[in-house]
């Protein structure tokens, strides 16, 4: 067979077009492919939901590749170990309830599991805004506004595109970017003590690991926070390179939304 470059172009355009067209009305749009977003995506796709994940960077995995200070090992507690092992990610017992996993194996396996379960990945795409419908108490997020990351990064004035979703998962980690945009652009109150974003607090791993899961909830109609964004939204601590809370939060948000979709 002679390789025809035109055919390669046609195949890529056709397949991407089909994926994009089939993602215009989503059950769930997830923003951010860190450990919490990937876990949520995997669980929701496994449950048969139409889920797409939008990640600004080319690579999936967020902050999990680098372990702690680029020593690329992650730590998990017993509950986190169970989730990793469920996905076939080997864990080593360190001591007294502390386990480690290879950050590269954990990240690639999680991303691969999610992709094979049917998650539609849109990497190198930035979510720059949301669509809000309704008035007053009836307001709800109904869609996401996306742009190509190179367009966003170069500051070119190119308008974005919009996709509908029944639920949006804010999984952008420390910056809580989507939630910040929602609050900045709309006269709304979040389901937080102040009605705004409380902001992340300093390191306290023991507290932060459980609050990450507690804070995983609907923060505004149609919008759920997970992972580090959940703690930032509700004014809780950071936890450093222990990742059980991120995985558990991803599982929790997937379970809640899966039930809500029923």
Binding residues vs ligand 48H (CB under 6 A)? 31-37, 54-57, 62-64, 126-127, 171-174, 177, 227-229, 238-240, 246
| Cα(56)–Cα(184) distance, integer angstroms | 20
- Quick one: 76 or 190, whose CB is closer to ligand 48H? 76
CA 228 to each of CA 151, 171, 243, 244, 246: distance values in angstroms, whole numbers, following the listed order = 26, 7, 10, 12, 7
- Quick one: 190 or 253, whose CB is closer to ligand 48H? 253
Nearest approach, Cβ of residue 163 and ligand 48H (Å): 13
CA geometry: angle 176, 177, 179, nearest 5 deg: 70
Nearest approach, Cβ of residue 93 and ligand 48H (Å): 21
Nearest approach, Cβ of residue 137 and ligand 48H (Å): 27
- Quick one: 10 or 257, whose CB is closer to ligand 48H? 257
- Quick one: 4 or 159, whose CB is closer to ligand 48H? 159
The overall longest dimension of the chain from CA atoms, in Å, is: 65
Q: Rg (Cα) of the chain, in Å, rounded?
A: 18
180-196: b or e for each residue (b if 16 or more CB lie within 10 Å)? bbbbeeeebebebeeee
Nearest approach, Cβ of residue 31 and ligand 48H (Å): 5
- Quick one: 63 or 80, whose CB is closer to ligand 48H? 63
Nearest approach, Cβ of residue 131 and ligand 48H (Å): 15
Short-list 28, 33, 54, CA closest to 165: 28
């Amino acid at each position: 067979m002679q390789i025809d470059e035109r055919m390669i172009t046609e195949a890529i355009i056709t397949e991407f077009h089909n994926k994009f067209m089939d993602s215009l009305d989503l059950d769930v749009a997830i923003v951010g492919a860190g450990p919490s977003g990937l876990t949520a995506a995997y669980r929701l796709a496994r449950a048969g939901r139409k889920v797409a994940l939008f990640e600004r960077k080319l690579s999936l995995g967020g902050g999990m590749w680098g372990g702690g200070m680029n020593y690329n090992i992650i730590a998990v507690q017993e509950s986190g170990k169970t989730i990793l092992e469920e996905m076939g990610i080997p864990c080593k017992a360190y001591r007294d309830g502390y386990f480690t996993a290879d950050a590269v194996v954990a990240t690639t396996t999680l991303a691969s599991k999610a992709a094979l379960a049917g998650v539609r990945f849109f990497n190198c795409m930035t979510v720059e805004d949301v669509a809000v419908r309704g008035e007053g108490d009836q307001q709800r997020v109904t869609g996401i506004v996306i742009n190509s990351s190179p367009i966003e990064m170069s500051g070119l004035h190119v308008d974005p595109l919009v996709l509908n979703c029944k639920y949006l998962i804010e999984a952008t980690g420390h910056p809580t970017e989507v939630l910040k945009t929602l609050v900045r652009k709309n006269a709304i109150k979040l389901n937080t003590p102040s009605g705004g974003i409380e902001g992340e607090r300093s390191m306290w791993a023991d507290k932060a690991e459980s609050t990450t899961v507690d804070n995983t909830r609907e923060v505004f109609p149609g919008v759920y926070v997970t992972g580090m964004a959940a703690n930032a939204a509700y004014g809780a601590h950071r936890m450093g390179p222990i990742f059980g809370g991120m995985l558990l939060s991803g599982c929790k948000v997937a379970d809640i939304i899966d039930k809500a979709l029923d």
